[in-house]
Amino acid sequence: MASPIPGFHSCYLRIDLTTGAAQRVVLEEQFLRDHLGGSGLGVALLLKEGAAGVDPLSSAAAMAFVFSPLVGSPLTTSAKFAVVSKSPLTQRINDSLASSGFALAGKKTGHDAIVLTGKAPRPSILIIDDDQVRLESAADFLGLSTGETEHRLRERYGTEFQTATIGPAGERAVSYATISHDGRHAGRGGSGAVLGSKNIKALAVRGTHRPHWAEPSALVELARKFSEKSFGPATAKYRELGTASNLLTFNRLNVLPTRNFQQGSFAGAAAISPEELGVARERTRSSCAACTIGCEHLYGLKNGKGSVRLEYENLFALGPLCGIDDPEAVLEACRRCDDLGLDTISAGGTIAFAMECVERGLIDEPWLQFGDGAALLRALDLIATGEGIGRLMALGSRRMAHEIGHNSIDFAPQVKGLEIPGYDPRGLQTMALGFAVGSRGADHNRSGAYEVDFSEAVDRYHVGPESAHLAVETEDKAALMDSLILCKFLRGVFTDFFAESAEILRLVTGWDVTADELRQTARRIVTDKKRFNILAGWTPAEDTLPDRMLRQALPDDARAQLSPERLSALVRAYNLARGWSPEGWI
Amino acid sequence: MQVVVELFGIARARAGVAQTTAVGQCLGDVLADLAGRFPLLAESCIAGRTLRPGFTANLGGRRFVTAQETALTDGDTVLLLPLDGGG
């Protein structure tokens, strides 16, 4: 094999779990340049595997753990990996990202990606030690929480191995189960269910292969400058308050989804805000490996029960969305999701939907009421065990609505089956477009269109088709960040994102890459995701929002109103801005 | 004229208050007034009469504004916010 491209190993590891056979597959330079790493490379590999037409929970399904050219470099926030598969929740593409030591150790195995196909004969731990691959029994780990699994894996295999695990939810193929590493999660879309369906409780990876860099001295100098900038005002929010500080801002702007999107503000917001929690509880900070921002804020539970990472999305989904203003219940729910391996947004969204179904008399579960913290915790446990109403809730709000009927799909808080994150689209209408067209469903990590709404560029209550290109731009930036990979919390430190990204990539790989080339690369990656979805059965009718959001203004903010016609016009303009047909065919 | 100023996120943390009042005919006047009274807020969020990068303002919860000449009327509510909403 030719020498690897700087920043890459120029190959991936393909493992057939049914037989245990492992194969090293060469990645050509042009293929890497076209798709980079992370999400971009992962989608390209899945297309190559023909994964779009396969049931994601079948043994024939492929899933990819993908590293990137920047992993292992001195650049801040670059220790990240993507998990890419077809989603059991949406039946569309799913690319979830997580951070830290697993990315570093995984890339050191000497591969740019690890592709899993087949199904292990029995519940197993997949060990990848450089290029040596083996399956060991997971019998001792079944039923354990994600944290306990990681703890026991460290005891068994030592701290040189880094692990990615599923919890009880993944073992039971809950449609929105996560894959966890060091307390962080590849969270959205059910990648934990895909791994669980392959009989893999955890991966443990270790390696000795370090890629080289094209211009190491200049890269170190550039990394130093980025680290310095990452201490500046652009990241102060993340560093000092954490993402949860969005809560009171969004509440004031009437875009804080409350009681299953029945309101845009929550009377109990102050009680669960980080400003309040920080006064009443111990707060500590943490960060991923190779990160200078340190966005993680952990809050102590009462009675010495440890501490919990709190993010805005957890807080919104398990608090206001379910009408809960009891901080102890919200924090405990966050921890329970972490332990069980559940996506907090989908868990909260589905439970909030179920609460409204109870309120409307569509489900006979009178204990499941908005505002009841104990009910929230009980619901999470039922989802993980599949008992009672938990069987339905484990399917996510869309499939649950289809089973319940009575037009409940009209208020199921989802797009393409993925529960909507904490931005009410009626008051953030560029984001409404971003949610509607998102390849993995309603997604604040693949479209940053809320940034447009929080600016003078548009009137967030009356966004018109002329703004579609702004949504395209934020989606392209996200696609590039997810493929290089860099943390999105770093985006504020860039002055000219595409040009500076090109410089980073040039120093890593030696390629004469330009800003224009990276713009094209980002567009290619977004189009590849669309191609995957079309192969999986996508139709234009999917690019929409729940009926409630198109026919009802927010009761607490009458200005926040969309219509089917206005959203259709936005979607059409978006498709044309992408160079696709007006309906969205590529 | 007098306006109400609500502060969020880092702006609130720096000023040490959630709400205050300020005087001025335009946004620049109000920012200058705040900067004079809250030095820590000025260090992070306000440069003279303008907002520093990473921050924005909003009138009454509806319209985002940054231009210092943005006219204000008596009783307006000005929100000072971190620009970045990601999470």
**Among A377, A398, A419, residue at a domain's last position:** A398
* pLDDT number for residue A160: 94
Using CB atoms, pick whichever of A233, A252, A489 lies closest to residue B86: A489
Clarify whether residues A435 and A390 are in a common domain.
no
From the list B9, B61, B83, the residue facing A241 with the nearest CB is B9
Mean of pLDDT over chain A:
96
Mean pLDDT (whole number) for B57-80: 96
- pLDDT tens, residue by residue, A551-561: 999 999 999 99
The answer to whether position A249 is within a domain reads: yes
* A178/A244 same-domain check: no
Contacts of A559 in chain B (CB under 8 A): 62
Same domain, A393 and A267: yes
Q: Is residue A293 within 8 Å of A79, Cβ to Cβ?
A: no
On chain A, the residues whose CB falls within 8 A of the CB of B8 are 245, 248-249, 252
B86, A448: Cβ pair inside 8 Å? Answer: yes
Domain count, chain A: 3
pLDDT for residue A233 is more than 80: no
CATH superfamily, domain at B2-82: Beta-grasp domain (3.10.20.30)
Residue numbers of the domain that contains A393:
238-398
Residue A549 or residue A294, greater confidence: A549
Three-state SS sequence of A245-300: HHHHHHHHCCCCCECCCCECCCCCHHHHCHHHHHHHCCEEEECCCCCCCCCEEEEE
CA distance B4 to B22: 6
Phi and psi angles of residue A183, each rounded to the nearest 5 degrees, phi first? 85, -5
CATH assignment at residue A96: 3.60.9.10
Query: How many Cβ atoms from other residues are within 10 Å of residue A280's Cβ?
Result: 12
pLDDT at A360 over 60: yes
Q: Tell me if B54 and A236 make a contact (CB, 8 A cut-off).
A: yes
Q: Does residue A485 have a cis peptide bond before it, meaning omega lies within 30 degrees of 0? A: yes
pLDDT at residue A257, as a whole number: 98
Cα A7 to Cα A213: distance, rounded to the nearest angstrom: 6
Joined tokens for residue A382: 């039922």
Please list every residue in chain A whose beta carbon sits closer than 8 Å to the beta carbon of residue B43. Answer: none
Sheet hosting strand B55-59, strand order edge to edge:
B19-23, B2-7, B77-82, B55-59, B63-65
Same domain as A443, residue A387: no
Inter-chain residue contact A311 with B58, CB threshold 8 Å: no
Q: Would A221 be classed as within a structural domain?
A: no
Mean pLDDT of A574-581: 98
Q: Long-range CB contacts (< 8 A, 24+ apart) of A388-395?
A: A389/A354, A389/A363, A389/A365, A392/A354, A393/A350, A393/A351, A393/A354, A394/A169, A394/A172, A394/A174, A394/A175, A395/A175
Q: Per-residue confidence at A240, pLDDT binned at 50, 70, 90?
A: confident
For residues A517 and A480, give the distance between their C-alpha atoms in angstroms, rounded to a whole number. Answer: 11
pLDDT at A283 over 90: no
- Write down the pLDDT at residue A4: 84
> Quick check: is A2 in a domain?
no
Residue A417 in any domain: the answer is no
The CA radius of gyration of chain B, in Å to the nearest whole number, is 11
Contact B82 A254 (CB under 8 A): no
CATH code assigned at A480:
1.10.599.10
Q: Do residues A420 and A257 lie in contact, with contact meaning Cβ atoms separated by under 8 Å?
A: yes
User: The domain that contains A385 carries what CATH number?
Assistant: 1.10.569.10
CA torsion A511-A515-A520-A526 (nearest 10°) is 100
Give the H/E segment covering residue A574: helix A564-577
Residues A528 and A456 in one domain: yes
Asked if A326 and A367 sit in the same domain, the reply is yes
Find the distance separating the first CA and the last CA of chain A, reported in whole Å. 36
| Residue numbers in A near B66 (CB within 8 A) | 456
| Number of Cβ pairs < 8 A linking chain A and chain B | 87
Phi, psi of A342 (to 5 degrees): -120, 140
pLDDT per residue as tens digits for the range A476-502 = 999 999 999 999 888 888 999 999 999
Token pair for A340: 């069980």
Which chain A residues touch B83 with a CB distance below 8 Å?
451, 454-455, 492
A451 vs B contacts (CB less than 8 Å): 83-86
- Tell me if A283 sits within 8 A of A300, measured CB to CB: yes
Mean pLDDT of all residues in A14-21: 97
What pLDDT digit, counting tens, does each position of A521-532 carry? 999 999 999 999
Mind listing the pLDDT tens digit for each residue in A392-450? Answer: 999 999 999 999 999 999 999 999 999 999 999 999 999 999 999 999 999 999 999 99
Residues 23 through 82 of chain B touching chain A, CB cutoff 8 Å: 44-45, 52-56, 58, 61-66, 79, 81-82
Distance CA A253, CA A433 (A): 19
Is residue A230 situated within a structural domain?
no
Please state, in angstroms and rounded to a whole number, the distance separating the CA atoms of residues A65 and A71.
13
CA distances from A76 to A140, A160, A292, A466 (A): 37, 22, 6, 36
Question: Residue A3 falls within a domain, yes or no?
Answer: no
Among B8, B43, B45, B69, most A C-beta atoms within 10 A, so best to mutate, is B8
Which residues of chain B make contact with A241, given a CB cutoff of 8 A?
9-10, 13
Q: Answer with the residue of higher pLDDT: A548 or B87.
A: A548
Residue A215 has pLDDT above 80, yes or no: yes
Quickly state the pLDDT bin for A13 (edges 50, 70, 90).
very high
Q: For residue range A320-333, list pLDDT tens digits in order.
A: 999 999 999 999 99
* Residue A77 exposure: Cα atoms within 13 Å on the Cβ side: 25
Look up tokens 């921002």; give the residue.
A293
Are residues A311 and A451 located together in one domain of the fold? no
String of DSSP letters for B15-67: HS-SEEEEE-SBHHHHHHHHHHH-HHHHHHHEETTEEPTTEEEEETTTEEE--
A549 and A454 together in one domain: yes
Q: Tell me, what's the pLDDT at A552? A: 95
CA distance A384 to A350: 13
For the cut 90, the answer to whether the pLDDT of residue A209 exceeds it is: yes
Q: Determine, yes or no, domain membership for A403.
A: no
Residue of A nearest to B80 (CA): A249
Provide the residue ranges of all domains of chain B, joining segments of one domain with +.
2-82
User: pLDDT at residue B83 above 90?
Assistant: no
In whole angstroms, what is the distance from residue A183 CA to residue A247 CA?
22
Longest dimension (CA), chain B: 36
ipTM score: 0.96
CA distance A385 to A169: 7
Same domain, A434 and A477: yes
In this prediction, residue A2 carries a pLDDT of: 59
Domain end residue (candidates: A352, A378, A398): A398
How far, in Å, CA of A10 to CA of A37, rounded? 11
Residue A1 clears pLDDT 80, i.e. is over it: no
Over residues A464-468, mean pLDDT: 94
pLDDT category, B85, cuts 50, 70, 90? low
Res. A169: pLDDT tops 70: yes
How buried is A441 (Cβ within 10 angstroms: 0-12 exposed, 13-18 middle, 19+ buried)?
buried
E strands in A403-486: 414-415, 418-419
pLDDT band of B24, cuts 50, 70, 90: very high
User: What is the structure's pLDDT at B54?
Assistant: 85
Q: Which residues contact A40 (CB under 8 A, 6 or more apart)?
A: A479, A482, A483, A521, A524, A525, A528
Predicted confidence at residue A489, as pLDDT, reads: 87
Q: From A345, A341, A340, select the one nearest A316 (Cα to Cα).
A: A345
Cβ-defined contact of A246 to B65 (cutoff 8 Å) = no
Does A456 contact B65 at a Cβ distance shorter than 8 Å?
yes
What is the end-to-end Cα distance of chain B in Å, rounded?
Answer: 36
Instruction: Please write the tens of the pLDDT for every residue from A30-66.
Output: 999 999 999 999 999 999 999 999 999 999 999 999 9
Give the residue from A376, A398, A420 where a domain finishes. Answer: A398
Residues A192 and A274 in one domain: no
**Given this model, what pLDDT does residue A239 score?**
86
Residue A21 has pLDDT above 70, yes or no: yes
Question: What average pLDDT does the segment A266-294 reach?
Answer: 90
Q: Is residue A419 part of a domain?
A: no
| Residue A111, CA distances (Å) to A21, A42, A540, B10 in order | 16, 13, 37, 41
Element (H, E) at A180: strand A179-181
Residue-wise pLDDT for A183-198, tens only, equals 999 999 999 999 999 9
Region A236-250: mean pLDDT is 90
Same domain, A251 and A183: no
